[in-house]
Structure 1
Amino acid sequence: MKRFLLALAAGLVLFTSCEDESREISQKDIQDQQVNVDMSDFYTYTFDETDGRSALGGKSCHTMKVLNQKLENDPGLHQRMYNIERNVRQFIAAKKPDGAGGGNGGGSGDGGSDPVNDGLGTINIPVYVHVIYNSSIENISDAQINSQMNVLNADFNKSNSDQNLVPAEFAGLIANVDINFTLAGVTRKSSSKTSWGTRDDMKYASRGGVDAVTPESALNIWVCNIGGGILGYAQFPGGDPATDGVVISPQYFGTTGYVSVPFDKGRTATHEVGHYLNLRHIWGDGRCRQDDFVADTPSSDGPNYGCPAYPTVNCQSNDMTMNYMDYTNDACMQMFSEGQKARMRAIFAAGGARESFIL
């Protein structure tokens, strides 16, 4: 019944425009069927992240809450995200060998346990870091910024030293995403604001922040005190270019200097960049039947916190608690899966949401 309601909701969004647009979308649906793309589970709104298992003072990523706000304020965002998701699934389905797929979780053909050569090669992402500070301690050092860059490059290239902690059940799924991050510039700006919240003010010079630099071809990261115990948030592909990027509070950025245990290993940025590259939370931001659109990540009914014991069982399967897209402590997350790799890289393909990065 839930799948039917979600499909109906997607259909209502798609067919509220004029007859000609409906006819065009119908042709796209036919193309989807030709490459075995199922969009019936596409869903963007999520339940409140404070529901489900208690955070117990743990990690707080506001990406999905920010997404819900943007969906309410931008009537075209849902359709753009739908189109991006359809393109991702088409690309992955076209690259996947016949009969490949499967994995541990419920997905819609969006990557499984079998590595696929997508033809994109190594992807290089320039990074602009904007440090907006109210106190000297928030004006983080170059060394702290460089330590974060090192973590991103290790985590996205399967060279992190702690990957050996992944249990044997999931060890074969650890992915080398083959994405490199290069620091392109650092901006520093003093501010009278003590906290910025999640309304993107830090992304506009007119509001006291710093404007994004070439967001069509570079990742922008704003490092400032968000407040409210929020570690960070990101913008999914499809949003306004002016606000495209990642926001992280300074004490959760990097591994040295002004960092706060247990989020002092640079994994907040790894997590948020995952969102920026189109990954959902590992539990799908819902209960057991809500999916993260990745076939090889097990279903779960909510986030995990702290350092859970293995196995942690939910939805009749072992949770991949060590995945970067869960809410566990930095020292207890060590991997992206092959399916997540496929999703992230697909947005750089021809027609993808971040194609301009590699043109």
Structure 2
Amino acid sequence: MPEGHSVHRIARQFERNFVGHRVAVSSPQGRFADGAKALDGATLTEVWAVGKQMFMGFDDGAWLRIHLGMYGAWDFSGDIQMDATIASANGRMGQTNQRGTVFDDAGENSLTSIGAPRKTRVRMAEAEKESDVSAEFPPEPIGQVRVRLLTETVCADLRGPTACEVLSAEQVTAVLNRLGPDPQRDSSDEAGQKFVDTITKKNTPIGLLLMDQSVVAGIGNVYRAEMLFRAGIDPYRPGKKITTDEAWALWRDWVYLLEIGVQTGQMMTIDGLEGEDWRQAMAHRADRHWVYKREGLPCKKCGTNIRLEEMANRKLYWCPSCQT
């Protein structure tokens, strides 16, 4: 499932290419026909993400809420202009500055984003993939396209989302009220305090709390495992036994790691890498994570084998020696 940084990157793609334009909305698949009819011809005025959900506001007062879930993805085509906060394929922006293009071998949060503008097709989900296309614009829909958003120059096709619905402003507020803080939307001390207060009052294991979108928005399996390792915290320790200082450290680390993810497209969780070590880490998941997907391998700090267990039907990676 896409974690928070991926959804923010997608929102910024829409902000750059669609906001301020009238949008033709259709549902080639037919499952979103009524919703498409309600939005068709309106001007997109704002797009933003909270955690794993994206909200698109139109000038008629309607909102489109998208949750990609496990299988959802957006395909963009046309004269796409990549948002300046997203690393370009020429390595000119963000943490890729002067380091050249890096392609991830596992397809996880790939850096194969594009320069601006360029006639292309790019898929944005947990992994981003790019391919040049010479077909006429707009392209024929491929597969089960739930909704198509189309301007004169750019097309976006959505497949396989968990949620795709038209909401009123009041309904958007109701959804937001159920979500925990997202530091890309609000990194203030007030947002951090809300996170800290929620964590330290619950008897639920911290490994579950970090995945609870009502506690904090955007953290998934990768960030959960890596943040707890970086903090040296046992994922089974109850929230009530997390100290205030530890809770604040987790919040600040999420602010920090999420920004790196948005800027680079990679869930980079090992600090201090430079030169070829940095390039290796950006290209290979095993070189940029401490514990995620490293079950049975020795911990990079202490040598103890990394454990893989299940917590609420999700895979949990952790080091039983470093995390106490």
The question of a shared fold, defined as TM-score above 0.5 by the shorter chain, is answered with no
Higher relative contact order (CA 8 A, sep 6+): 1
TM-score of the superposed pair, with normalisation by structure 2: 0.28
Flag the structure with higher strand content. 2
